[in-house]
Structure 1
Amino acid sequence: MYIPQLPSDGSQAPQGASMGSHAGVFGPRVERHGNERIRLLLKSFGLRTSLIRLKVIDALLVAAESERSLGVRGVHSQLLELGIPLSFLSVREVLKRLCAEGVITFNADKSYSLHPQAAAVLNSD
Structure 2
Amino acid sequence: MYNPQLPTDGSHAPKTSTLGSGVFNQQAERHGNERIRFLLKSFGLRTSLIRLKVIDALLTAAESDRSLGVRGVHSHLLDLDIPLSFLSVREVLKRLSGEGVITLNPDKSYSLHPQAAAVLYSEQSGLKA
Q: TM tier, shorter chain?
A: 0.7 to 0.9
Cα drift, residue 13 of structure 1: 4.3
Say how many residue pairs are matched: 116
Q: Which has the higher helix share?
A: 2
Residue 74 of structure 2 aligns with an amino acid whose one-letter code is: H
Cα drift, residue 27 of structure 1: 9.0
Cα drift, residue 47 of structure 1: 0.2
In structure 2, stretches of 5+ residues that fail to align are 1-5
User: SS where residue 29 of structure 2 aligns?
Assistant: coil
1:67 corresponds to: 65
Quick one: distance in 2 between partners of 1:106 and 1:118?
Answer: 14
2:40 corresponds to: 42
Cα drift, residue 24 of structure 1: 4.4
In structure 1, stretches of 5+ residues that fail to align are none
Paired residues for 1:1-125 under 5 Å? 6=7, 10-14=9-13, 21-24=17-20, 28-29=24-25, 30-31=28-29, 34-124=32-122, 125=126
The two structures have a TM-score, normalised by structure 1, of 0.81
Quick one: distance in 2 between partners of 1:64 and 1:50?
Answer: 21
Structure 1 segments, 4+ long, off by >2 Å, are 10-14, 20-28, 30-33
Cα drift, residue 92 of structure 1: 0.1
The two structures have a TM-score, normalised by structure 2, of 0.79
Cα drift, residue 48 of structure 1: 0.3
Residue 10 of structure 2 aligns with an amino acid whose one-letter code is: S
User: SS where residue 44 of structure 2 aligns?
Assistant: coil
Q: Indicate how the Cα distance of structure 1 residues 70 and 79 shifts in structure 2: closer, same or farther if over 3 A, else same.
A: same
Q: Deviations over 1:9-30 (max 9, x none)?
A: x52445xx8xx94344679324
Residue 122 of structure 1 aligns with an amino acid whose one-letter code is: L
**Cα root mean square deviation, aligned:** 2.8
